[in-house]
Amino acid sequence: MDKDSALPIISATEHPQQIRIARIEALGQDPVIRHLPAPTANTEEVLVRIRASALNFADLLKAQGRYQEAADPPYTPGLEGAGEVVRAPAGTGLVAGNRVAVYAPATFSDMVAVPPDTCLPIPDSMSFEQAAGFQIAYGTSHLALRLRAALQPGETLVVLGAAGGVGLTAVEIGHAMGARVIGVARGPERLEVVRAAGAQAVIDSAECDDLKAALRDLGGVDVVYDAVGDSAGEAAFRALRPGGRFLVIGFAGGKPPVLPLNHALVKNIAIHGLYWGGYAKLDPQALRGSLQELFVMFDAGRISPVNGQVLPFEQIQQAFQLLRSRKSVGKIVLTM
């Protein structure tokens, strides 16, 4: 254990001189924890003591230099977290001690200074660990299924990568919206988690040689939620019924699917890309409204985040390796 892991726990009202900060010091390398000066918020920023931060597949891609939004080392990874307000500007509606979710870069740090519009109060019933991994995963699925795909009760939704941090939320939200959900994931143990999240049918991708045929045998598909890409995405696309919608979410399989656009034309299929982070500029009100609706759904017990892997901050390298192995179920969260 290095010297940084021995730092004392600080409260929401304290402002230490130094804190622990994870750093990617070269592309292709995992992060290391450094002991660096604490941030000082300017008059327009909120200072937040981070209690938990979630790892996303985008963090892996960015560290490898393969993400659409490049980062030059050294930089601090992390895209979302949760904690307590230490200090906030007047007029923001935030005060010291407020429990908030934070969507901003560099959340793998004991403390961050961020714009007020990146902070959103969380329900009292939600833990910091739940809130840390809630925004991107649930926000992506909610915006994709409700806004882009306009998923209707009784329609059939197939989720590729259904046991992943984002895929499980699509299963859960799709079920809550009244859809018939088919979850595709690897291995019986992960499929049990998918079924528990609300999937009425599951397909083991490790045992399925013809995904298109398997989906057609289950009656066909109205909406594809594709977080995998590659050949699985193409196979699911070919199983879409006329008027279907294909949601491009991510490429955990390594590359985008090759979609036959002539099928999209003949079958009136709509293809929607969904980059949740882009909505911060494209339509910030839609993004914020979606999260607020999700927090209400959580507080009412309509959605319940699956407990993923929760590790201490000092194990950030193990967390990156766990995500890289694609053996995790749900979100990987580090506690500070």
Map residue 253 onto helix, strand or coil. Answer: coil
* Residue pair 298/292 in contact by the 8 Å Cβ criterion: no
Q: For residue 228, what pLDDT is reported?
A: 95
CA distance 172 to 79: 22
Neighbouring CB atoms inside 10 A of 108's CB total: 28
> What would the 3-class secondary structure string for 6-22 be?
HCCCCCCCCCCCEEEEE
pLDDT at 12: 52
**Residue ranges per structural domain of the chain:** 3-134+305-335, 138-277
**How is residue 12 written in tokens?**
């929401």
Q: Which CATH number fits domain 3-134+305-335: 3.90.180.10, 1.10.3720.10, 3.20.20.70, 3.40.50.1110?
A: 3.90.180.10
d(CA 267, CA 44): 50
Cβ-contact 210, 232 below 8 angstroms: no
The parts of the chain modelled with pLDDT lower than 50 are 1-10
pLDDT of residue 1: 36
**pLDDT at site 3:** 36
What's the pLDDT at 170?
97
**What sign has the CA pseudo-torsion 160, 247, 323, 209?**
positive
Give every CB contact of residue 14 below 8 A, 6+ residues apart in sequence.
Answer: 49, 86
CA distance 332 to 328: 7
What's residue 329's pLDDT?
A: 73
Containing 312, the helix (H) or strand (E) segment is: strand 309-312
Write the CA distances from 107 to 51, 77, 131, 268, 313, integer angstroms: 10, 7, 13, 42, 11
DSSP per-residue codes, 289-316: HHHHHHHHHHHTTS------EEEEGGGH
Q: What is the DSSP letter of 136?
A: H
pLDDT given for residue 249 in this prediction: 96
Distance (Å, whole) CA 329 – CA 122: 23
Model confidence over 217-235: pLDDT tens digits?
Answer: 999 999 999 999 999 999 9
What separation in angstroms does the CA of 265 have from each of 84, 233, 271, 290? 50, 18, 11, 31
Nearest to 198 by CA among 306, 308, 310, 332: 306
Per this entry, what is the length of the chain?
336
* Architecture of domain 138-277 in this structure: 3-Layer(aba) Sandwich (3.40)
pLDDT at residue 11, as a whole number: 53
Tokens of 290: 């979606």
| Residue 173 per-residue DSSP state | H
Structure tokens at 11: 């409260």
Residue 14 token pair? 């304290």
pLDDT at 29: 93
CB 70 within 8 A of CB 62: yes
pTM of the model: 0.86
Distance of CA 8 to the CA centre of its chain: 30
